[in-house]
Structure 1
Amino acid sequence: MKNVLICASLLGSMLTFAQEKDSTKTKNIDAVIINTYIKKDSDFSNKMSIKAIEDPQVFSSINKSVLENQAIFTVDDAYRNITGLQQMWSPTSRAGDGGSFIVLRGFPSNNSMRNGLVSPVTTTIDAVNIERLEVLKGPSGTLYGSNVASYGGLVNRITKRPFENFEGQVSFMGGSYNTYRAQADINTPLTKDKKLLFRINTAYTNQGTFQKTDAKNSYFAFTPSLTYNLNDKLQFNIEYEMFNTRAIGDQFFFYLNPGSLNGIDNMKDLEKAGLNYKESYIGDDLYTTARVNNIFGQVNYKINNNIKSSTNINTSSSYSDGFGPYFSASVDTNNNVSVSRFDQATRDSRKKYLQIQQNFNFDYSFGNGMRNRTVVGFDYLKTKDRSRFIYLANGATYTVPANGGDYSDFNGTTLGALYDNPENISHYDVDGDTNTYSGYISNVFTPISELNIVLGLRYENNDFLGGKVWVNDTPAYNQSAWSPKAGLVYQIIKDKFSVFGNYQNSFKSNGYYTTDLAGSIALSDPERANQFETGFKANLINGKINATVSYYNIKAKNMLFGTGQYTAAGNAVQTQTGEIQSKGIELEVNAYLIKGFSLIGGVSYNDTTDLSTGFRPSTAGSPWLANFNASYQFVDGSLKGFGFGIGGNYANANKIYNQVNPATTRFEIFTLPKYFVLNANAFYDAKKFRIGLKVDNFTNQHYWIGYTTGNPQKLINALGTITYKF
């Protein structure tokens, strides 16, 4: 907190000095703000350059300057600006599946793409190298495949690239829960002709948690990039991402249902009964060490004015080793709350991806205003999974009272000693390789300047080479699927107002499933999801207001559905009759309303139903979501460069348990309460320096997120920032 107070005092004392040094013109500041908050055109949603007003797919995007103004340095915190997105699970850093989970349009998703290629990050994703975040809404399997595209949408991290000028900035941050951070962004040409360009973004963060301020979690990001422009036709790009983490995982409560909680059916009442929101329930040194390494290579070649080629090679690997504590709560007949503590550790776990992708883009204009744009692509993806999870074989739970207990016995030394004896260990292994071969085409035809017709098709073949899951050998299989898409956009007022509709598809190979109590297995059909969506897009007042309103209907079928029966070996008996329907509406607005004043906001409603049970799935998140951020920056006068903002996120109750309890055969619900979290920030941006202050959750609200779990989130926290620019 001392660092925050220093930043706050400097913010006032340096205003006068900075005003004399900053000569930025008002109109230039206006342009920067508009591009920061409003511009939403994309080169990625259709793997070609297309304006938002003429794109039949709905997507949201957040610019790096928005993150800077709000003093956000992780992708998880950046999600607060995306309409219809709700975070469900913080990163656990486990190799393969350890990234944060979100919900989009009623379906779980995660951050699995970078620059249009598969690059999962299983740790906390540092935003130091983020140019822009794009969130594509709805099934996007046609252009991105089955391995990364959730039926609700996908997140694409667009990274910073080198440019021709020598420029850079260094920032220092400090704040609540022993948070200290240093970061740098340095760009320079390496040759006099400015053909070889280099940029490096790096950051180191050390912080505790609001429950354990002395945790000393550390996060290191190192992301250099290199561009070589051989001539005006040929360009080479190389990027490297390294994220190293040593941290204690956030607190996750599993198995929350009224049957084990003496009838308590919501988190607010469980807190009243004695579950302590601020207590960590663990001792020291339960760290996980995790590493993510991503390498991206690209060759762009302009064959002629109408044809371009892009060759991409991408590798992504994750590693983890360490503890994975998790918790459950129970309530006895006297309403005494107890907490049981468990651990599922990883040992030398690894998951790797290799992707090779070739795209050809064609762009022809002909006739009287007609235009045709096409992308044709080929993709190879190799996935290699070597995940190993271990846990105590004796089933020790370390149960303690929720208040007033000694929680220090559940620590790294104690558990490490137990794991040192092989007889104490049970394990769960995943060992298998998959080769995925794909080809796709997407075409945007413009018969008249106001009308775009989009058609696309993908063929994908998944070749699983066989492997092991837990103790079971999994046979090899080969399965293919087609994924079509279609869209129509008509600009009622050219470049200002359009009506659109789309059909989008995605799919997934689930492999083998157990069909009966005898343990028979069968290869499941590909799981499929189809979306129909319609709506309006507006780009008004010289681009100062950008708005989208849409209605969507998604139906997923051929999903594996448990019958409630288990084989003698403990395998769940399933059918492939599961179906989920998700429908809803979304309204998103980005606006520059008056000089200096900007607004990001939106509201969404989602109605998701598991058609097999008639219930809302426990992974669908809150039905109602809303977000806003209002920001004002002085663009002239004595306070030019000073800005401030306020933002917030609302979610109504989230049913994380919504089913018939197998133990009691009764229908039961457990909900996380609604929340409305408010954040505020202020900054001063001068030519050579920037200083800022933010306070998140300034009402100090208790709020929970969950992916069938309950995860308490940060209480009030403040952060001060000082940046030197050169």
Structure 2
Amino acid sequence: MKKNRNIERFSILASGALIAGAAAAGAADVDASASPASSILDRADSSTVPTVTVSATRRDASLQSVPVAVSVLDGDQLAHDNRNSIDNIVQQVPSATFRQQGGNKDTTIFIRGIGTISTSPGVEPTVSTVIDGVVYARPGQATLDLLDIERIEILRGPQGTLFGKNASSGVLNVVGRKPSEQTSGFVDASYYQGDEKRVRAGLSGTIQPGVLKAAVTALYADYAGNVDNVHSGGGKLNGYDRKGVRARLDLTPSSDLDVALIADYLRSNSSPTFTPYKSTSAVFSQAIAPAVAGPESRQVNADLPSDIHDINKGLSAQIDWRKNGYTLTSISAVRDWDNQQYTSTSAIGNGAEIGRITAAFPATRDIGTVEFSQVSQELRLASPKDQFAEYVVGGFYLNGKDREVYQRIVTSAARVDSGRADYGVKSESYSLFGESTLHLSPAWNMIAGARWTRDNLSYDHARNSTQTVAFPGVQPGVSNTGSTSEDGYSGRLGLQYELSRDANVYFTYSRGYKGPAYNVFFNMLNRDTLALKPETSDSFELGLKLSAFEHRLSANLAVFDTKYANYQANFYDTVAGAVVTRLINAGDVSTKGVELDLTARPTRALTLNAALAYTDARIDNFNCPPAAAASCNLNGKPLPFSPKLKTFVRANYALTLDNGLITDFSTDYAYQSKTQFDLFQSPDAIQSAYGIINAGVALSSPTSGWRVALVGKNLANRSYATNLVAATGYVTRAVPRDDKRYFGITARSEF
């Protein structure tokens, strides 16, 4: 431990020296805006903070002008930082966290401490994911890879008016890259310690001037993993391999009509692995040997390790027709997602190695398949700009169909038992929405919006079992069907006041809505057949956005207070000696806090970024379900996956050399306070506070279009968990990619 602390001190000092050195070199700073290859930052105007355009109000506007709390991540910056999926971008967004689970279909993103923890296809996410205007109905669809993106907008707080019913905590809005005017191409490749490889290549340009442009990007990524399987011939786990392609065709048949056709396909294989974190049972310790439980353990003894397969694909067409200042937008999309999981609820080995199996710790093998398809259609009409009343009105339709098969094989010392469940969910959602901004005076704006949603939800479920009584992890056979329909309302009301040309303040009230739900899962019981009530939220937000020092500094501040009613959460209960989950209307929860985002350009070559979020997300009133065996004394307790304090800071300095090449120095530091991962407040499921330091140096040619960078991740070598799961006798840990220090090299060539 002393050695690790010394390394951490050295890394902090080294990062500090890098920032200080960049600042000291500011006396000789120069304009580094000659080419995109010169820096991943936009340096179109080297003396000011670049203007950031967002679509948070369903029409393009500057980040500083919209009365919404938004975090914006640059796609090129994420690629250079080796942050290529949703689970690792949250390190840069203090308001967001991510729940890593055994398979990506069960993962969840949280914003301001609020997210949905459930494996049921009958519940929708609290945070909506929208990619190129298309709503992804299941969160697992979007957790694979960010293939070719321009930016990510994280809209914080309820966004039910313009982005839909399943946005009661926020929206992850991903904007893909458009084809370029000039014919161009690129190849970028990276290699990191741990045998992680990533290669992307793309072509873009005009096919017929003024009429047709196209772009295509292909991806190959492979990572062996950072967990050792000490079982004979086990090899590495917790890795992945991904192959994908994205193509976009932009047609302009006339000056007032644009058509964008987008197709994407991604195939992914992964081996997510939880390692033994703590053991309070000698039998368990003996069963996992020679692996040893510990906070920094990266070993398992698994005869059949986890194996996840995904195919995610889709087609969309966006049509924009402009007439007399009005814009009519149509977005039509179809998507398919196939998921196959070989996982386990056992921590001792996933197969049938009898020598390590006991009555207390049987081995389980879970085999699950998901076939999900969705069809969506959105129509929007945007009014002309610079009018007294500017508005966006529209309608939205989404149809989703889910079929799943789940089998659990339980091997004990005496016998092998199993259960199989076949189930599915059908969902339909219709909505009408509109939001208007009234320019009451040159300084005052009023915002008003509303959305009506109609949800139709139905399910069927049938489970067979080799036993008529419950045994570890499997309930007896049962068969049920059900359906429900609900009308929901959401909206927004607010005022915005322009303090000066470069500063404005806003105050908004937002109503969020998340539709009804069914707890449809493998161990579904008769008591789970009632539909859950919709989840609603009421949020008040006060925000300040300003630019200062001749646009060398931009600052965005938001203070929020949100209360949720009929919060949909997983409740852990014990039935017939087995722990099961019950999706329930858990009661009332709340989240309140303050967020700050800063960007500064002290010199033409030095850019500083800082973000901070203080979030107090708590259970106000927990409704214990009837006949619950577990304790429900949770009032006043923190919500899981919600650290009170989370920060991110970055410094980037670009120096032009005498030969015209540009050197970029960068470093960043992410910190979060202690985090409880368990709704029921297990003391063994708390991750202590930690900080992660990264740094990099790059050399690029503005004229030749190439860039080479050396990247160092987790320089202080700080081990941590992205999830801790406490069970009887042991605790297991989800191991992140940067659980220990590693280095890599990236290269890019543009032509």
Q: Which residue identity is paired with 1:711?
A: A
Q: What is the rounded CA distance, in whole Å, between the counterparts of 2:108 and 2:63 in structure 1?
A: 27
- Structure 2 counterparts to residues 196-275 of structure 1, below 5 A: 196-212=212-228, 214-215=236-237, 217-251=240-274, 274=294
SS of match in other structure, 2:194: coil
8 A contact 1:554–1:583 mirrored in 2: yes
Query: Does the C-alpha gap of structure 1 residues 574 and 599 become closer, same or farther in structure 2, counting only changes over 3 Å?
Result: closer
8 A contact 1:88–1:707 mirrored in 2: no
- Match status 1:448 vs 2:441: yes
Q: What is the rounded CA distance, in whole Å, between the counterparts of 2:582 and 2:562 in structure 1?
A: 27
Q: Which residue of 2 aligns with 1:142?
A: 161
User: Aligned to 1:187, which of 171, 191, 204?
Assistant: 204
- Match status 1:307 vs 2:326: yes
Q: What is the rounded CA distance, in whole Å, between the counterparts of 1:328 and 1:448 in structure 2?
A: 64
Computed over aligned residues only, the root mean square deviation of the Cα atoms, in angstroms, reads: 3.6
Q: Give the fraction of aligned pairs with identical amino acids, expressed as a percent.
A: 16
Query: Does the C-alpha gap of structure 1 residues 560 and 170 become closer, same or farther in structure 2, counting only changes over 3 Å?
Result: closer
Q: Which residue of 1 aligns with 2:698?
A: 683
- Structure 2 counterparts to residues 306-705 of structure 1, below 5 A: 306-325=325-344, 328=347, 345-366=366-387, 371-394=388-411, 424-468=417-461, 471-494=478-501, 496-511=502-517, 519=527, 522-559=530-567, 576=585, 578-612=587-621, 613-635=634-656, 637-638=658-659, 640-657=661-678, 659=680, 670-686=685-701, 687-705=704-722
User: Aligned to 2:743, which of 698, 718, 723?
Assistant: 718
What is the deviation of 1:241?
1.7
8 A contact 1:633–1:640 mirrored in 2: no
- Structure 2 counterparts to residues 30-49 of structure 1, below 5 A: 32-33=42-43, 38-39=49-50, 41-49=52-60
Q: What is the rounded CA distance, in whole Å, between the counterparts of 2:338 and 2:36 in structure 1?
A: 48
8 A contact 1:224–1:239 mirrored in 2: yes
Q: What is the rounded CA distance, in whole Å, between the counterparts of 2:335 and 2:716 in structure 1?
A: 40
Q: What is the rounded CA distance, in whole Å, between the counterparts of 2:589 and 2:615 in structure 1?
A: 13
Query: Does the C-alpha gap of structure 1 residues 660 and 453 become closer, same or farther in structure 2, counting only changes over 3 Å?
Result: closer
Q: Which residue of 2 aligns with 1:664?
A: none
The one-character-per-residue Cα deviations of 1:329-363 (angstroms, maximum 9, x if unpaired) are 99xxxxxxx99686564444211221100011002
Q: Which residue identity is paired with 2:310?
A: A
Query: Does the C-alpha gap of structure 1 residues 627 and 507 become closer, same or farther in structure 2, counting only changes over 3 Å?
Result: same
Query: Does the C-alpha gap of structure 1 residues 107 and 24 become closer, same or farther in structure 2, counting only changes over 3 Å?
Result: closer
8 A contact 1:545–1:589 mirrored in 2: yes
Q: After the TM superposition, which of the residue ranges 102-111 and 595-604 deviates more from structure 2? A: 102-111
- Match status 1:297 vs 2:317: yes
8 A contact 1:656–1:670 mirrored in 2: yes
Q: What is the rounded CA distance, in whole Å, between the counterparts of 1:535 and 1:261 in structure 2?
A: 51
In the comparison of the two structures, how many residue pairs are matched?
642
| Structure 2 portions without partners, runs of 5+ | 1-30, 116-125, 229-234, 283-290, 350-357, 464-477, 622-633, 726-731
Q: What is the rounded CA distance, in whole Å, between the counterparts of 2:271 and 2:130 in structure 1?
A: 25
Query: Does the C-alpha gap of structure 1 residues 35 and 530 become closer, same or farther in structure 2, counting only changes over 3 Å?
Result: farther
Q: What is the rounded CA distance, in whole Å, between the counterparts of 1:699 and 1:131 in structure 2?
A: 31
Q: What is the rounded CA distance, in whole Å, between the counterparts of 1:671 and 1:632 in structure 2?
A: 37
Q: What is the rounded CA distance, in whole Å, between the counterparts of 1:154 and 1:592 in structure 2?
A: 29
The one-character-per-residue Cα deviations of 1:120-161 (angstroms, maximum 9, x if unpaired) are 5537532331110000000112222223x2x33221111011
| Structure 1 portions without partners, runs of 5+ | 1-21, 263-270, 331-337, 398-417, 662-667
What is the deviation of 1:301?
0.6
What is the deviation of 1:487?
2.2
Q: What is the rounded CA distance, in whole Å, between the counterparts of 1:274 and 1:41 in structure 2?
A: 45
8 A contact 2:276–2:294 mirrored in 1: no
The one-character-per-residue Cα deviations of 1:28-71 (angstroms, maximum 9, x if unpaired) are 97993368995564452111233333322100101123224435
SS of match in other structure, 1:106: coil
Q: What is the rounded CA distance, in whole Å, between the counterparts of 2:646 and 2:32 in structure 1?
A: 41
8 A contact 1:83–1:601 mirrored in 2: no
Q: After the TM superposition, which of the residue ranges 289-298 and 542-551 deviates more from structure 2? A: 542-551
The one-character-per-residue Cα deviations of 1:439-492 (angstroms, maximum 9, x if unpaired) are 100111122233221111000000114423764423111111111111221110
What is the deviation of 1:188?
2.3
Query: Does the C-alpha gap of structure 1 residues 111 and 245 become closer, same or farther in structure 2, counting only changes over 3 Å?
Result: farther
Query: Does the C-alpha gap of structure 1 residues 655 and 365 become closer, same or farther in structure 2, counting only changes over 3 Å?
Result: closer
What is the deviation of 1:602?
1.2
Q: What is the rounded CA distance, in whole Å, between the counterparts of 1:39 and 1:508 in structure 2?
A: 36
What is the deviation of 1:576?
4.3
The one-character-per-residue Cα deviations of 1:340-396 (angstroms, maximum 9, x if unpaired) are 686564444211221100011002545xxxx32111110000011112222214468
Q: Which residue identity is paired with 2:299?
A: E
8 A contact 1:566–1:573 mirrored in 2: no
Q: Which residue of 2 aligns with 1:16?
A: none
8 A contact 1:564–1:572 mirrored in 2: yes
- Structure 2 counterparts to residues 60-79 of structure 1, below 5 A: 60-79=71-90
Q: Which residue of 1 aligns with 2:624?
A: none
SS of match in other structure, 1:209: coil
SS of match in other structure, 1:311: strand
Q: After the TM superposition, which of the residue ranges 158-167 and 558-567 deviates more from structure 2? A: 558-567
Query: Does the C-alpha gap of structure 1 residues 596 and 91 become closer, same or farther in structure 2, counting only changes over 3 Å?
Result: farther
Q: Which residue identity is paired with 1:692?
A: A
Q: What is the rounded CA distance, in whole Å, between the counterparts of 1:623 and 1:247 in structure 2?
A: 32
Query: Does the C-alpha gap of structure 1 residues 497 and 23 become closer, same or farther in structure 2, counting only changes over 3 Å?
Result: closer
8 A contact 2:567–2:588 mirrored in 1: yes
What is the deviation of 1:164?
1.8
8 A contact 1:487–1:502 mirrored in 2: yes
Q: After the TM superposition, which of the residue ranges 519-528 and 713-722 deviates more from structure 2? A: 519-528
Q: What is the rounded CA distance, in whole Å, between the counterparts of 1:429 and 1:35 in structure 2?
A: 59
